[in-house]
Amino acid sequence: MKKALGVLLIVCLPFHAGGQDKQKKAYELMYEDVQLLKQQYLKLEKKLDAASDDIKIIRDQVRELTAQFKQFQAEQARSQENLKNLPSLVQVFLERLGQIETELLKISEDLIILKSKPAPPVEQPQEALKKGEKTPSSKKPKEPQKKEEPPAEKKQADAARPQTNLSSQELYNTAFVDYQKGDYDLAIDGFSQFREQFPELTLLADNALFMIGECYFSQKKFDKAIDAFDELILNYPQSDKIAEAYYKKGLALIELKKKDEAIAVLTFLVSKYPLEEDAKKAQDKIRELKEIKK
C-alpha cells in the first residue's frame, strides 16, 4: 500500500509542477498586458493634452474672428449710412463747383474789361513848370495820324464778326447752338469771335478751338479741321479735349486717304491715353484700317 501511494505521488508531482508553471506564465502575460496598457494610456493622455491646447488656441481664434466680424459689420453699417448721404454731398459739391466756375468766368471777364480800358493820361505837376515855359495846353497839338486802311479780307472778317456785348458764356453758347443747328460757318465765326474777345479765358478757349475743328470736319474741310486740332494739341496740352482731338484728327486723315498717317496718330493716342474712351474707339478703327490694308 505504501508502495502504491508512493508511486501515485511520483506520478502526480509532475502534473502539479506543470500547472504551477502555466499559472505563473499567465500572471506574467497579464502583467505585461497591464504595463502595455499603461504605456498606451500615457500616450493617449499626452495626445489629449496636446489636443486640449489646440482646442484652446482654436477657441481663441474663433473668439478673435467673431470680434473682427462684429467690427466689420459695424463698419459696413456706417459705410451704408455714409452712402445714403453721398448723393446729397455730391449734389452740394457740384453746386459749389458750378458757383466757383461762374465766379471764375466773371473774374476773367472783369480782368479782360479792365485790361481793355485805356490808361489815364499822366498830368505834369505844376511844380515842375518853370517860369517862362509854356504850359502843355499852349503847345500846338499834333495832327492826328491817318490810320491805314485794313485789307479787304480783314474788313469782311470784321463785318462777319461784329463786336457784341454778350458775356463769354453767352457768346460761347450762341456759337454752340449755331453748330447744333448745322450753321457751321456762323458757328465758326462765333467761336472765333469768342477766342478773339476772350483770349485769356482758358476755361473755354480749348473747347472753342475744338468746336471750330468739329465745324470744319462736318463741312468735310478736313485739312482745316486737322489744322484746328493740331493747334489745340500744341497750345493746350493739358486740355480734356486732347484725346478726342487726336481721334478726330485720325478720322480726318482717313477721309483724306492718308491711312498710314491715320494709323500712326491713332496708335499714339492709344499709347499715350490708354484709359480714355477715345483710345478704345481708336483701337477699333486701327483694326479696321489694318484689315482693309490686307
Q: What is the 3-state secondary structure (H, E, C) of 242-272?
A: HHHHHHHHHHHHHHCCCHHHHHHHHHHHHHH
Tell me the mean pLDDT in the region 106-130. 50
Task: Please return the burial class of 229, using the count of CB atoms within 10 Å of its CB with bins 0-12, 13-18 and 19+.
Answer: buried
Tell me the mean pLDDT in the region 149-163. 47
CB atoms within 10 A of CB 31: 10
Tell me, what's the pLDDT at 142? Answer: 45
Q: Which of 211, 214, 229, 215 is nearest to 184 (CA)?
A: 215
Higher pLDDT, 198 or 112: 198
Rounded mean pLDDT of the chain?
76
Least confident of 147-161, 191-205, 209-223: 147-161
Confidence of residue 17 (pLDDT cuts 50, 70, 90): low
Confidence of residue 82 (pLDDT cuts 50, 70, 90): low
Q: Is 282 helix (H, G, I), strand (E, B) or coil?
A: helix
Higher pLDDT, 279 or 61: 279
Look at residue 46 and tell me whether its pLDDT is greater than 70.
Answer: yes
209 and 228 in contact (C-beta within 8 Å)? yes
Cell numbers of 88, please? 446729397
> According to DSSP H, which parts of 117-167 are helical?
152-160
Tell me the mean pLDDT in the region 262-272. 93
Q: Long-range contacts: 97-105, Cβ < 8 Å, 24+?
A: 101/203, 104/203, 105/167, 105/168, 105/169, 105/201, 105/203
90 alpha carbon, distance to own chain's centre: 17
Distances (CA, A) of 178 to 58, 163, 171, 259: 74, 17, 11, 32
